[in-house]
Structure formats: C-alpha cells, structure tokens
C-alpha cells in the first residue's frame, strides 16, 4: 500500500476575522462580586505591607539577634564535638 499523509495547507487563518465580535459589543470582564473580591484583596495587601512601629521593629531585631546568637553557639558546640571525636579526646 502506497499512502501518504498530507499536511493541511495553513496559508490562512482558520476563520475569517470578520466573524469575530467587535470590541464595542463585549461585556465587562469582571462581575461585581469579582471586583469586590479584588478590592478586598488589594486592601489586605496594602494593610499587610504597612510600616511597623519603632518599638515593634526593635523587638523583632532583638529577637533575630538572640536567635542568631543561639544558632552560632550551637554550631560552635557541634564543631567542638566533631573535633574532639575526630582526634579521639
């Protein structure tokens, strides 16, 4: 059997552009419920990115410094334990 598959000729768009709906007849993209949800979401983003007070920023800084100091102490103790184990003390 000697058959060949032919590729369709794609020199033109599948449907004429005249059949597309004009831009003036389009309905609004978002319903009132969607717009309300977007406003609430925007409000939450803005509220979540508000500047913090100086006292709160200082407390966060102190807490991070305390955690970093504890982590450094744990790492130093682990390094000492590793050295002692490797050298047989």
Indicate the length of the chain as a whole number: 89
Structural domain span for residue 78: 54-89
The CA distance from 83 to 57, in Å, is 39
The confidence score (pLDDT) of residue 52 equals: 79
75 occurs within a structural domain: yes
Which segments of the chain have a pLDDT < 70? 1-28, 89
63 occurs within a structural domain: yes
The CA distance from 31 to 54, in Å, is 41
The confidence score (pLDDT) of residue 42 equals: 95
49 occurs within a structural domain: no
How many domains is the chain built from?
1
6 occurs within a structural domain: no
C-beta of residue 87 within 8 angstroms of C-beta of residue 79: no
Here the tokens at position 74 are: 């744990």
22 occurs within a structural domain: no
Which distant-in-sequence residues (6+ apart) come within 8 Å of 38 by Cβ?
30
pTM for the model: 0.42
């Amino acid at each position: 059997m000697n058959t060949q598959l032919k590729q369709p000729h794609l020199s033109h768009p599948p449907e004429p552009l005249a059949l597309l709906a004009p831009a003036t007849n389009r309905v609004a993209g978002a319903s009132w419920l969607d717009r309300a949800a977007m406003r609430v979401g925007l409000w939450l983003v803005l509220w979540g990115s508000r500047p913090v007070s100086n006292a709160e920023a200082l407390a966060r800084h102190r807490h991070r410094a305390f955690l970093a100091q504890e982590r450094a102490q744990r790492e130093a103790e682990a390094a000492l334990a590793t050295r002692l184990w490797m050298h047989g003390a």
